[in-house]
Copies of this chain bind each other. A is one copy, B any other.
Amino acid sequence: MYYGIDIGGTTAKIGCFKDDKLIKSWIIDMRVNTVDEMVLNIINSIKANDDNVLGIGLDCPGFIVNDQVITSPNLHFLDGINLKQAFLKHIDTKVKVINDANCHALGEAIYNKLDNIVFITLGTGVGGGYIVDGKVFEGFNGAFMEIGHMHVDDFYNFRCGCGQVGCLETVCGQKGVINLVNYYKNKLNTKLELDYTVRDVFDLARVNDELAFKVFEVFTDKLGLALANTAILLNPKTIIIGGGISKAGDFLLNAIKRNFTKYACQSVVNTDIILASLGNDAGMYGAYYLVK
């Protein structure tokens, strides 16, 4: 059978596919110190399930070009490693590797029978992918669609993990919410508690909590701006919003659409904007489609 594997910072999700269907999935620990340890853990886990492995697709956070990890900020032991070759040392099958956000994009596109899409994932940070003619784009050094680092803000000037100020993910995604809550917590009234989640902020925004509504407003305004500028460059048929935060549903989607329209020019203003449908399985599906 085919395997689609979504590698994260602490765990890897392994999906087993037959006839284009995810028939089984499980999670393994990723707290390893070397590439070989990681590769053998994955291969042993697959071989315990199946002795006829037709192919392995993998996604992984970081900058990746042609199966080679250039850098992976959360999995530094992969820096400079050709992950495909690392697998081929231990198993004789088809192997393909891409960046995680690109892989989620591919999963959502093919599963939903869509092409010419921009995918954006709202999680801890903000990532993205672009699929046209069923193909993933990696860019010159693996930084294609690093939408989280588009410069969109000259007011708050929050410092980004990348070293710059004003990146989309300083005012959007979980990190952005934290920055904005900290900025406004002594300036605006709120019922938000200390151990809040992004979901709590959005729930309070719905009932017009002053602080939560302001955070939601900035988040969706800057996201609308980034997506409008992305549409002007890539001119996709559809923009798909994914990642954990997208579970906020229509409340979030409608605000994104409103802000997209504010910034988009005529030729792209009718771009479809929809929510992702595969949730946490998108990476496994994408990795499967990649190798299949």
Instruction: State the A residues within 8 Å of B (CB).
Output: 63, 116, 132, 137-147, 149-151, 160, 162-164, 166-167, 225, 228-230, 232-237, 263-268, 271
Contact = CB atoms under 8 A, between A and B. Distances in A.
With most chain B CB atoms within 10 A of its CB, the pick from A116, A147, A235 is: A235
Contacts of A162: 265-267
Given A132-B137, A151-B225, A228-B151, A265 B233 contact: no
28 contacts: A63-B267, A116-B140, A132-B137, A138-B235, A140-B235, A140-B237, A141-B235, A141-B268, A142-B267, A143-B267, A143-B268, A144-B235, A146-B232, A146-B233, A146-B235, A146-B268, A149-B232, A149-B267, A151-B228, A151-B229, A151-B263, A162-B266, A163-B265, A164-B263, A164-B264, A166-B263, A167-B265, A229-B229
B235 A234 contact: no
A266 B232 contact: no
Q: Which 6 residue pairs of A and B lie closest in terms of their CB atoms, listed nearest first?
A: A139-B235, A143-B267, A149-B265, A143-B235, A140-B237, A162-B265
A186 B204 CA distance: 48
Given A151-B225, A229-B150, A229-B151, A139 B263 contact: no
Contacts of A267: 63, 141-143, 146, 149, 162
A91 B47 CA distance: 62
A234 B235 CA distance: 13
B139 A234 contact: yes
Nearest to A147: B233
A95 B234 CA distance: 26
B266 A145 contact: no
A151 B224 CA distance: 11
